[in-house]
Structure 1
Amino acid sequence: MDPNASTRTEESAGQSATHAEPSDDIGILADIQLLWEDLQGLSHDRFRLAALETRRAGQSLTTMLAAAVMLGLLLSAAWLGLMAAGVQWLIEHDLQASSAILLAVAGNLLLALILFGVIRRRSRYLQFPATQHSLKPVSKDYAVKDLV
Structure 2
Amino acid sequence: MVKPATILKTMPVLAVLAGLGATFALAGPIEDRQAGMKQVGKAMGAFAGIAKGEAPYDAAVVKTNADAMLAGMKQAFANFTPGSEKGPPETYAKPEIWSDPEGVKAAEDTALKAVEAMAATTDEAGFKTALAGLGEGCKGCHTKYRRPKD
TM-score normalised by structure 1 residue count: 0.22
TM-score normalised by structure 2 residue count: 0.22
Higher relative contact order (CA 8 A, sep 6+): 2
- Structure showing greater radius of gyration is 1
